Structure 1
Amino acid sequence: MSGNGTTPGDDPLQTAVWRLRSRACWADAAALLPVDTPAGALQRASLLVERCLYTERGWQEAEDALRTAEALAHTDDERGAAACERGQLAYAATLHRVRDRADEARAALGRAAALIPPGAVGRALLDFRRGLLAENLTHAPQAARAAYRRAHAGATAHPDPLLLSFTWRHLAGLALRDGELSEARHGFAESLRILEELGYLVGTAPALASLAQTEPEPEASRLREEAGRLFRLLGGVPTWLARQLAPPEPGVATA
């Protein structure tokens, strides 16, 4: 699940879920969904896994929801999507140092890759998550870049604007690491533009903070201040953004 409920004519249920999700109300969004169908159980698990990534809490609830989704999955697509969520939960737990589940994350995403063929709708999200693992756990930026580019192409081919905003931002982050300031600024700006168009508030503050890294003063400070305002509005979510919003050390340039 990435961009459900974001276009005119969507199912009213999906629109309600989207609005709650975009405002960091994952538990409320999950409570609207049926738990006795493969699609409902999977979407519910996805929401609760995302909450773990953004808030560093709710691990057991996400685990229980994921087990339900795995039990209800019958087709390769359903099993692949559940494995993708299993990999993401293990990745989040490792990233936030709750428990080292890196091997589980790799195995689950590998299982998902065996079930979701290249070019399928769910493949772009899987490629993106494999990029996250390569960048942040394996520390292999070249492999991460390749995975993000595949995800970017897939999110374009099967229009998924939310996922596209994520691939823009992560590709821009790698460009910034390589000193490609203009490329990084463009990618961060595209990511922010899409998120603002979608109204995905919980992702807008990180996008603002990322763009601030590529801008000179006073624009950098203005972007960080706006990111901070949204961060506080959403109750300090995502938790990891607090470090990025800390004022730069005196004498250290932001662009």
Structure 2
Amino acid sequence: MSGSGTTAGDEPLQTAVWRLRSRGCWTDAAALLAPHPSSPALTLQRTALLVERCLFTGTGWEDAEDALRTAEAAAGSDDERGGAACERGHLAYASTVLGVRDRADEASAALGRAAALLAPDAPGRALLHFRRGLVAEHLAESPQSARAAYLRAHAGAVAQNDPLLLSCTWRHLAALALRDGELAEAREGFRESLRIREELGYLVGTAPALTALADTEPEPEAGRLRAEAARLFRLLGGVPTWLADQLSPPTRPASPAA
């Protein structure tokens, strides 16, 4: 993920932020970016970290809202305003899907605003496609629309060489395939998602990927994968919080959170 601490030549700041983020230390990672309020890009990145913390832990909503307002105030171009709108949509989605507060209308409106503001070739458009897919799948209950959005995000992630986003699109396309009974296709997608996360060292996202793959594998491989996921879950202090009830054998769709 170029510029985010996972490739050779990244700035020391981005490398430090990535190492903390990948281990679920979002507050510490955001603190590294706090001394740069005049940078719209870093302000938006700080917001994204705190929104991600909400999604993985179900906590920190006020901090994320404060950071988001700062990012919205700092935005000076349409792409920057579009990026902030994309984060507002994602925060509203997280609040809704985790049952904190129903903000589904706000999520859709904010992502629509982001689509209107971002240039067609803006770096943030692939992520926007992915987040619109999440809303379509988990809030609007429209798997067909979700698949189309995920495919656009997948193509964008490939074009931009964004492996972390690519791991997410693989995972959610696989979840839709599993939902349709396409076991081989689902297994391939979940394997690719897991492979990328392990290569990146994205520890906080590895346990969900292991659990998802386990739902497509026979025993004893499924049990081994769940045991490894449980070990990582304990290592990270019970994060992501929503994974706790997915570490048992019954097949279930991949979580909407990661």
Where on the TM-score scale, by shorter chain, does this alignment land: which range?
A: over 0.9
Tell me how far 1:36 sits from its aligned partner: 2.8
Q: Is the 8 A contact 2:3 2:10 kept in 1?
A: no
Tell me how far 1:89 sits from its aligned partner: 0.2
- Aligned residue identity for 2:21: R
The one of 58, 62, 85 equivalent to 1:60 is 62
The one of 190, 198, 209 equivalent to 1:207 is 209
For residue 21 of structure 1, what is the aligned residue in structure 2? Answer: 21
Q: Is the 8 A contact 1:3 1:160 kept in 2?
A: no
Distance 2:200 2:27 in 1: 20
Q: TM-score, normalised by structure 2?
A: 0.94
Residue-by-residue CA offset, 1:71-105 (whole Å, 9 max, x unaligned): 00010110000000000000000011111100000
Distance 2:17 2:133 in 1: 27
For residue 248 of structure 2, what is the aligned residue in structure 1? Answer: 246
Residue-by-residue CA offset, 1:1-37 (whole Å, 9 max, x unaligned): 9971110110000000000000000000000012232
Q: Is the 8 A contact 2:81 2:114 kept in 1?
A: yes
Q: Is the 8 A contact 1:2 1:162 kept in 2?
A: no
The Cα RMSD (Å) is 1.5
Relative to structure 1, the CA distance from residue 2 to residue 12 in structure 2 (aligned partners, 3 Å threshold; closer, same or farther) is closer
Alignment of 1:83-98 (within 5 A): 83-98=85-100
Alignment of 1:227-242 (within 5 A): 227-242=229-244
For residue 191 of structure 2, what is the aligned residue in structure 1? Answer: 189
Q: Is the 8 A contact 1:91 1:101 kept in 2?
A: yes
Residue-by-residue CA offset, 1:94-117 (whole Å, 9 max, x unaligned): 011111100000000000000113
Distance 1:188 1:40 in 2: 31
Tell me how far 1:39 sits from its aligned partner: 1.3
Tell me how far 1:243 sits from its aligned partner: 1.4
- Aligned residue identity for 2:171: R
Instruction: For residue 10 of structure 1, give the secondary structure of its aligned residue in structure 2.
Output: coil
Distance 2:107 2:193 in 1: 26
For residue 147 of structure 1, what is the aligned residue in structure 2? Answer: 149
Instruction: For residue 120 of structure 1, give the secondary structure of its aligned residue in structure 2.
Output: coil
The one of 103, 107, 129 equivalent to 1:127 is 129
The one of 90, 112, 119 equivalent to 1:110 is 112
Q: Is the 8 A contact 2:150 2:173 kept in 1?
A: yes
- Aligned residue identity for 1:243: D
Distance 1:10 1:82 in 2: 23
Relative to structure 1, the CA distance from residue 112 to residue 81 in structure 2 (aligned partners, 3 Å threshold; closer, same or farther) is same
Tell me how far 1:248 sits from its aligned partner: 3.5
- Aligned residue identity for 1:182: A
- Aligned residue identity for 1:133: V
For residue 82 of structure 2, what is the aligned residue in structure 1? Answer: 80
For residue 162 of structure 1, what is the aligned residue in structure 2? Answer: 164
- Aligned residue identity for 1:17: V
Instruction: For residue 74 of structure 1, give the secondary structure of its aligned residue in structure 2.
Output: coil
Residue-by-residue CA offset, 1:230-253 (whole Å, 9 max, x unaligned): 01111111111111113439xx9x
Q: Percent identity?
A: 76
Q: TM-score, normalised by structure 1?
A: 0.95
Distance 2:195 2:118 in 1: 30
Query: Runs (4+) of structure 1 moved beyond 2 Å?
Result: 117-120, 246-249
Structure 2 unaligned residues grouped into runs of 5+: 253-258
Instruction: For residue 240 of structure 1, give the secondary structure of its aligned residue in structure 2.
Output: helix
Distance 2:3 2:56 in 1: 17
Distance 1:85 1:169 in 2: 21
Q: Is the 8 A contact 1:3 1:163 kept in 2?
A: no
- Aligned residue identity for 2:209: A
Distance 1:82 1:226 in 2: 36
Distance 2:19 2:101 in 1: 31
